[in-house]
Structure 1
Amino acid sequence: MGDPLPTQLPPVSDSWGDPDLSPKRANRQAKTWDKARRLTEIPRELASRHRTAAQLAEQFGVGIRSIQRDLEALEEMGHAITFKPHSSPRAYCIEERGQGLTPPEALAAFTALRLAYHQSPGQNRHVRETLDKIARMLPAELRHTLNDSVVDNGAAQLGERDLERVSQAWLERRVLRFDYQRPSGELERENELCVYFIEISRTNLAPYVIGLEQKRRRAVRTFKLSRMLNLQVLDSDYQPDPCFDPRTFLSDAWGVIGGGAPITVRVRFTPDAAYRVLEGGYPNMQYWQLADGSVEAEFCAGADASGLPRELMPFLLGWGPRAEVLSPPHVREHWLAELREAVRRYGSDS
């Protein structure tokens, strides 16, 4: 037999598991938690918009004097509370520089966006506006120099509208319909995409859209934004795949095409190119330095339907005679065929 049942049940707790908490003490504790919540939420509210004490009091359900004490406490905590000029009654705000970014972080973000600015003329307005916002986080003398370096090149608004439609489809979880101009010239009509991710290619810095294409192939595919035509955001919505992980999908991508069967390509670099290989920081690469000063490296890259690492090939061909593809055989043969064709076309002096 187990222990006998207790003859009296334990007292029911009033709050926070404490059976001895009196109503008066519980009321004080509730007020303390309410104040802590206000001290957390008021700075976020004032960082977004100007608010009077009366507006804050109504929003948080307390008296104006309580809000005034909260503002005094926030100033003591280091928040820079300022006032809207010439407003009556007085409207408060908190000026936050950089949304938490330090000047070095803001400068790093600015330089990264400048790459997109140089490589994405179709979306230049959006990039320029973002550069302006980030530059405001920096000291005035640096801010003006950076802003002067950004010039409106009169980019077409069509690409900007396409980016807006892709963003809308992704944020609102709505199906995106479009035609797609393949590199071969073939036009794929009426793809319907559930957008999972937007990636910038590390090779050409162009934006690509990744998602489930549910009408033609019913598979996760990658589309270059500049080749997506006649975009429409449909009324039908979708639920994102909880199993889709962009890090896993792009783990074998040399640029942005991932999710396929990866292959390993072995390459030998001559001694005069070795230092560039060693300092390059290339993705998915392992290397070995040889006694003669050359370097052998293995690159893991996604392959297309023909088994070729299409994104990796321009990188390998760009080394000219300073790189030799060793394996696998079909990649080596394709690399040699490209070089032979270049010699056939341009090798003659006549």
Structure 2
Amino acid sequence: MGEPQQTHPDTDLPTPTAPRPLPRQPLVWNRAKRLAALADKLRQAPRTTEQLAAHFGVTRRSIQRDLLALSQMEHRVTRDHRGAYHIPQGGRALGPAEALAVYTAVRLLHHHAPVTSGHYLSALETIAGNLPQHLRHLLHRSLLDTGATHATDRALDFVAAAWTNREVLRFDYRKPGGEVERGNELEVYFVEISRDNLAPYVIGQETRHRQAIRTFKVSRMENFARLERTYDIPEDFDPRDYLSDAWGVIGGKNPVTVRVRFAPEAAYRVLEGGYPNATRVDTTLIHRDGSVELDIRAGADASGLPRELIPFLLGWGPRVEVLSPPHVREHWLNELRAALARHDPTYPGALLDAMEGRR
């Protein structure tokens, strides 16, 4: 007779005994752990077989077999132009609050951008799919004609494809004055929406004419071609170097700080906050007359002027005064004088121009 079977003290059921390990079980277990770790590595960043072999301490041939095994397990293993392997992260459905946040952001672009796009509408419809049916119907009805110029979507199609595939993009560029700069070749590093006009801009390395990082307004780009030449975005490229000082999209490493005084009737808006790169000169005190001073850091162009900040300052009319630096103050005053000279016949400058026959 065999030994009496042991029972569990609480259930009187037989106590399970651990199965004997099969001879190859440790090897299989180790490979299973390596496959799981390999999948995690490939989700983090693209890696070559050499890098993976060195990391896991196995041969390249073993890594190649593992990659094949992951593919057979329905992991979407992709290989880029450098020979590095990657598993793209799968998305997830947005929660109601997330969907509403993204929807309102895209809706802002659709309604207020000077050039609208069918891609905005398509994105709105996709995002609305994450919301309940009664909200989807209401949101669709709200998408009315905005009066914006309708783009053909061709520009965004080319920019998106070049950026995601890291392909050099060739295009002509129509400058604000109408002059066309032909044959630009751009490595697209980043796409930004201007705070000033909500239009999309592209930032990247222009390799044919100036060989420098430049910014292009998407709606002025035309005659596109995607080149077979590919590129890598430099690891030290940080979009914040070109955007953090920008009120629109002019950034770079030569920002200018403009000191501005807001009159009492405008001070409340300053105290509410919400202006990028703006700090109170004195955070503890409002001036006796109720005015508030603000230091605003903004990107400057080659002449040293914060071109994208100037319209914001002019928009406040007499309720704002530019205090410094001197060259920005002088430019601001000249803009005000020019407006008066053009539109107010009683302005002394306008009378002088009329007397000299220059009007």
TM-score, scaled to structure 2 = 0.70
**Residue 241 of structure 2 contacts residue 253 of structure 2 at CA under 8 Å; is this kept in 1?**
no
Q: How does 1:1-350 map to 2 (within 5 A)?
A: 23=23, 25-26=25-26, 29=29, 59-60=72-73, 99-120=92-113, 122-151=115-144, 159-287=152-280, 288=282, 289-348=286-345
User: SS in structure 2 opposite 1:99?
Assistant: coil
Q: Any unmatched runs of 5+ in structure 1?
A: 1-20, 41-57, 62-95
1:125/1:160 contact within 8 Å kept? yes
CA distance in 2, matches of 1:153, 1:267: 34
Residues 205 and 213, structure 2, Cα contact 8 Å, conserved in 1 = yes
- Equivalent pair of 2:245/2:298 in contact (CA under 8 Å): yes
Structure 1 partner of 2:65: none
Quick check: 1:260–1:303 contact (8 Å CA) kept in 2?
A: no
* 2: CA distance, partners of 1:342 / 1:298: 26
Report how many aligned residue pairs link the two structures: 277
Cα distance in structure 1, aligned partners of 2:113 and 2:316: 26
Superposed CA offset, 1:21-41 (max 9, x none): 87365278469869989xx9x
Amino acid at match of 1:325: V
Partner of 2:58: none
Where does structure 2 lack aligned partners over 5 or more consecutive residues? 1-20, 41-70, 75-89, 348-359
- Number of the residue aligned with 1:44: none
CA gap of 1:180–1:137, structure 2 versus 1, over 3 A, is: same
* Contact 1:123–1:159 (8 Å) recurs in 2: no
Aligned counterpart, 1:93: none
**Given residue 313 of structure 1, which amino acid in structure 2 is its aligned partner?**
I
The change in CA–CA distance for 1:328 and 1:155 in structure 2 (over 3 A counts) is closer
Q: Secondary structure at 2:232's aligned position in 1?
A: coil
Question: Match for 1:112: what amino acid?
Answer: A
Aligned to 1:46: none
Please give the alpha-carbon distance, in whole angstroms, between the structure 1 residues aligned to 2:35 and 2:160: 38
CA shift for structure 1 position 175: 1.0
Give a deviation string over 1:131-178, Cα, whole Å, max 9, x none. Answer: 011101011111111111124679877540111011111111111111
Q: Letter of the aligned partner of 2:257 in structure 1?
A: T
- Compute the displacement of 1:123 (Å): 4.5
Distance 1:291 1:114 in 2: 42
Whole-angstrom CA distance in 1 between matches of 2:315 and 2:272: 17
Structure 1: distance between partners of 2:321 and 2:112: 30
Query: Which SS does the other structure have where 1:243 is aligned?
Result: coil
Structure 1: which amino acid aligns with 2:26? A
AA in 1 matched with 2:219: S
Counterpart-to-counterpart distance in 1, 2:321 and 2:147? 43
Task: Quote the Cα distance in structure 1 between the aligned partners of 2:192 and 2:120.
Answer: 15
Q: Distance in 2 between matches of 1:338 and 1:154?
A: 29
Fraction of identical pairs, as percent: 57
Instruction: Give the distance between the partners of 2:33 and 2:92, measured in 1 at CA.
Output: 26
The TM-score, its normalising length taken from structure 1, stands at 0.72
Q: Quote how far apart the aligned CAs of 1:190 are.
A: 1.1
Q: Which residue of 2 aligns with 1:3?
A: none
